A and B are shown apart, each in its own frame.
Chain A
């Protein structure tokens, strides 16, 4: 009964045809690609930057602090505009192979998102590293571990446990921020919704549907991170549960 009803509804519907659904699907793929890539690259750079940020020498930690302060203190939209419009203005870039890459809006957006999420992630990891209990480091030193081994075996794994909750918020935040990619002509989920809105002049259908898509993505992320958190913090669970 349900499929009949659904088929009838689709039959009478001008907006949700196979073509627009495909457009939304392609937008979803672009959004997921963009967010996934920027998060992975951002995380890879954030770990060493966070370690540098905790170094006592101000000439080492200062520049990292400046970078994170700059990118956390300004809107992502401005960062995106500066990179998107600015890249074309670099003298001589149009003759190099970089132009082939940066002519597409996808890569400037990826660069802006990566720099932004990397700044936030650096601060999250730094906070977790700084709050490592002293005893853990003393014990590692007593065992004669070198700095590198201490970092790798004790500090970073313990920091990861403390950082995962704040990081899950950052991931969801990034998914939501990625909607502004549609401003620089990328057809992501929001871009698809804007195209469909302007074709049918149907704001409720276009934007409520896309809001539901984002909500589904958000809840998937929340679920995955809750599983991850349970896995990482299972030693803290009360006995017997």
Chain B
């Protein structure tokens, strides 16, 4: 039997942390992506400028550097704010900036930028005639967005969302560097203590492989469902 030297439960907890982190960051990334895409396609020059600088900035900086900045800088920033609140209002306020929150915020922000591009392309792929038809029916802007644009763009966005999710899942391994006890962190500690690197890292690698393979199948299934009403060209 495969012996994990008593690290089995810790590894399992770590895997749960990894999955929680991945799903929470995905939710944040999807929300940011929708907002970003809506901003990029809007008529307001300010909104376009903000969204464009957001995506450019994120894509120029490594995820690890961003994560270190948020983790170490986040605490210093929070301390500054709580000092200020204490000095002006004499309210004692303390907030511990933990690695889980900085992980979710960083990964969400990074993939929000990629999702923005995905959603933007998908919105542009919706036929103009559909939007015109909605206008002709007297739909408001918000109504057109929610009832016509979003349902139709999802089909085009799905492959991109799938790709981003696969990359996001692997990026979650980085949170072990800022001290979150996810599965990589547990494996690293176990490997150092027992001096058996292969014994602990290879199972963890296979968990990631299983997660990516499983999501690949799931995305294929979703894609098939989303394209049910569409005639395939080949």
Contacts and interface: CB of A to CB of B under 8 A. Distances in A.
Interface in B67-82: 68-69, 72-73, 76
Contacts of B202: 82
Interface in A142-200: 172, 175-180, 182-183, 190, 193-194, 197
The B interface is mostly helix, strand or loop, or mixed, namely: helix
B201 A207 contact: no
Contact of A75 (B173, B188, B196, B198): B173
A214 B56 CA distance: 12
A204 B197 contact: no
A221 to B, nearest CB: 10
A73 B73 contact: no
A85 interface: yes
Contact of A203 (B76, B173, B176, B208): B76
Contacts of A77: 173-174, 176-177, 184
B177 A183 contact: yes
A81 B202 CA distance: 10
B174 A180 contact: yes
A interface majority secondary structure: helix
B212 to A, nearest CB: 4
B208 A211 contact: no
A224 interface: no
- Assign chain B's interface to a size class: 35 or more
Interface in A212-241: 214-215, 218-219
Nearest to A70: B209
B191 interface: yes
Contacts of A177: 62
Contacts of A74: 170, 205, 208-209, 212
Contact of A211 (B65, B170, B174, B197): B65
B208 A73 contact: yes
Contacts of A218: 59-61
A89 interface: yes
Contacts of B212: 73-74
Nearest to B169: A75
Interface string A78-115: 11011001100100000000000000000000000000
A200 to B, nearest CB: 11
A208 interface: yes
B64 A190 contact: yes
A180 B191 CA distance: 19
Interface residues of A, number: 36
B72 A82 contact: no
A183 to B, nearest CB: 6
Nearest to A90: B198
A147 to B, nearest CB: 27
Interface string B154-187: 0000000000000000111110110000001001
A210 B60 contact: no
A41 interface: no
Contacts of A89: 195-198
A190 B65 contact: yes
Contact of A214 (B61, B195, B204): B61
Interface of A: 70, 73-79, 81-82, 85-86, 89, 172, 175-180, 182-183, 190, 193-194, 197, 203-204, 207-208, 210-211, 214-215, 218-219
Interface of B: 57, 59-66, 68-69, 72-73, 76, 170-174, 176-177, 184, 187-188, 191-192, 195-198, 201-202, 204-205, 208-209, 212-213
26 contacts: A70-B209, A73-B213, A74-B208, A74-B209, A74-B212, A75-B171, A75-B174, A76-B170, A77-B176, A81-B184, A82-B197, A82-B201, A82-B205, A85-B201, A176-B61, A177-B62, A179-B63, A179-B64, A180-B64, A182-B64, A190-B64, A207-B65, A208-B69, A211-B61, A214-B62, A215-B60
